[in-house]
Structure 1
Amino acid sequence: MRFKKNILLLLTMLCLSLSVLVLPIYSIELDETTRTVQLDNAGKISILTPEQVKRGKRLFNNSCAQCHNGGITKTNPNIGLDTEALSLATPSRDNIASLIDYMKNPTSYDGATFISDLHPSITSAEIFPKMRNLTDDDLFAIAGHILIQPKVNAEKWGGGKIYY
């Protein structure tokens, strides 16, 4: 009888310790302020849902992170996905609408040249298969992920070789 109680106690402690170790990883929830991003150049804002945040992260990691891991740009380390770099692009890319526009029709940082043959986009989905099935909702979630990261990862997002 005592052996059964000890086994039961051991199993209970094991389950509790696992839940303490595992639950915080999955229960991280960003507050509304962190999930609030600029929607367009007119100053409208959007509050992403937790589902959009999770979806954006997953889609970014699947479609963009090969070249933009940690918000850097492997092909040009001088231009990252940090807030400052996005705001200094022409046109600025520091809001959801402009990032979606970029993912559909990418241009060089100065806005002078269309680069859809070099950068994955909806326009060049035949060259970049990962872009084929992305919907406008997917692009919205990816853009939201990009804009939330400077709030979550601070100087690491877009920090380049120093961090990644």
Structure 2
Amino acid sequence: MKFNTILKKNSWLSLIAIIITYTIFSGSVYGIELDEATRTVTLEESGKTITLTPEQAKRGKRLFNNSCAQCHNGGITKTNPNIGLESESLSGATPARDNINGLIEYMKDPTSYDGATSIAELHPSIKSAEIFPKMRNLTDEDLFAIAGHILIQPKIGAEKWGGGKIYY
């Protein structure tokens, strides 16, 4: 009888410990705990910056995971591993895509890396939303948040973001 009482008490203590541990570690680090410096990204090619709110960062992560991560998980590009979403690749594109406005324009009407050819029929975009249903309901605010997420990632994951097969 005494053993059952001890077991019941310990079960409750174990359950409480599990709940507390889950509560502490299940909170999203991303979007909640990112400091201002991490959330500050380049807005336009001129170099002007903007600081995303924690909510924008969190929303960008969620939208990216729902709409983009199938092909760009970890910042890679599955169809062309030579061009990823890391800063170097984004800045080397024409026009540059290493800023919020450049990424938004790309998500609206994507072009080849050299900017010479539309690839809207191949890459999900607002322009080709009838082909890519996940793009249909994305607003400019959503695109802003996704672009912000992409630009924040090199600050968090460093070389891992866009690192390709080495990491993913």
Is TM > 0.5 for Structure 1 vs Structure 2?
yes
User: How much does 1:45 deviate?
Assistant: 1.1
Q: Which residue of 2 aligns with 1:14?
A: 15
Q: Which residue of 1 aligns with 2:166?
A: 162
Q: Secondary structure at the match of 1:33?
A: helix
Q: Percent identity?
A: 70
Structure 2: distance between partners of 1:21 and 1:151 = 27
Structure 1: distance between partners of 2:36 and 2:14 = 35
The one-letter code of the counterpart of 1:86 is L
Output the aligned Cα RMSD. 1.9
Match of 2:54 among 50, 67, 71: 50
Q: How does 1:21-60 map to 2 (within 5 A)?
A: 21-26=22-27, 28=29, 29-60=33-64
The one-letter code of the counterpart of 1:135 is T
Q: Where does structure 1 differ by over 2 angstroms across 4 or more consecutive aligned residues?
A: 3-14
Deviations 1:38-71 (A, max 9, x none): 1111221111111111111111111111111110
**What is the total number of aligned residue pairs between the two structures?**
164
Q: Which residue of 1 aligns with 2:67?
A: 63
Q: How does 1:69-88 map to 2 (within 5 A)?
A: 69-88=73-92
15-24 or 78-87: which moved more?
Answer: 15-24
Q: Secondary structure at the match of 1:148?
A: helix
The one-letter code of the counterpart of 1:138 is D
**Structure 1 residues not aligned, in runs of 5+:** none
Q: Secondary structure at the match of 1:34?
A: helix
Q: Which residue of 1 aligns with 2:140?
A: 136
Q: Which residue of 1 aligns with 2:115?
A: 111
Structure 2: distance between partners of 1:12 and 1:50 = 35
**Structure 2 residues not aligned, in runs of 5+:** none
The one-letter code of the counterpart of 1:15 is I
TM-score normalised to structure 1 length: 0.91
Deviations 1:132-162 (A, max 9, x none): 0000000000000000111111111100111
TM-score normalised to structure 2 length: 0.89
Q: Secondary structure at the match of 1:70?
A: helix
Deviations 1:54-104 (A, max 9, x none): 111111111111111110001100000000110011111000000000000
The one-letter code of the counterpart of 2:56 is Q
Structure 2: distance between partners of 1:49 and 1:9 = 43
